[in-house]
Amino acid sequence: MHYCPIARHFYRLRRVLVEELGLPRDAIRPSATFAELVPREHRRRVWRRFRREEIKVNPLEMSRTQTGIIFGSVICSVILVLYILPNFWACITAAVVAGTATFASLKSWTTEIDPSYSLGDAALRMTSVRECRETGYRLTRNEIFVKVRSTISGSLGVPLSQIKRETTWEELGYD
């Protein structure tokens, strides 16, 4: 049972993209990014399909505009509550409610994806160490770096593009 589990995950990603977007198979390479392959207007549909197929890829993110709208709604609610009822706790409650409600309504419209997030990164992230052990596949140094980079990004919320081999914890804001 010697096969590459990373390739198996890549083939699952490619199959979904071919079926959902009608892309030619040869256009879908591990080095291709989701941002270049999946047009913004089709991302929600493709990500829903990934969820149905239990393919775990990085979630879509909010745009700067959406983040600004949330921030603006929180500020407006604070000002409004302070004007109507100058009470600190009412102000905090209104800010939390406004921010949560706006976030929930905008979350369904998220379409942004890290521009450097490639299909190869996704396939590698989907591959567990257990799968590699069971199949006899040995991860390369680069594949280990990509898995560590992906884990740090997901855990700390740092964009993948900020994590390089030479990046230190201090540069990421951690001691």
| pLDDT for 25 | 92
What is the arithmetic mean of pLDDT over 109-127?
Answer: 84
Report whether pLDDT(1) > 60: no
| pLDDT for 20 | 94
Radius of gyration of the chain (CA): 20
Q: pTM value?
A: 0.68
| pLDDT for 159 | 77
What is the arithmetic mean of pLDDT over 41-46?
Answer: 91
Among the residue ranges 9-18, 55-64, 106-115, the one predicted with the least confidence is 106-115
The SS3 call for residue 165 is coil
Quick check: 98 and 74 in contact, CB under 8 A?
Answer: yes
Q: Please write the tens of the pLDDT for every residue from 45-97.
A: 999 999 999 998 887 776 677 667 766 776 666 666 666 666 667 667 766 77
So where are the chain's domains? 5-60+115-162, 64-107
| Other CB atoms within 10 Å distance of the CB of residue 127 | 22
Quick check: 155 and 125 in contact, CB under 8 A?
Answer: no
| pLDDT for 55 | 93
> Is residue 22 very low, low, confident or very high in pLDDT (cuts 50, 70, 90)?
very high
| pLDDT for 37 | 94
Q: Please write the tens of the pLDDT for every residue from 138-150.
A: 888 888 888 888 7
The beta-carbon contacts of 75-81 under 8 Å, at least 24 apart in sequence, are: none
| pLDDT for 66 | 65
Report the C-alpha gap between 150 and 168 in whole angstroms.
Answer: 15
| pLDDT for 71 | 67
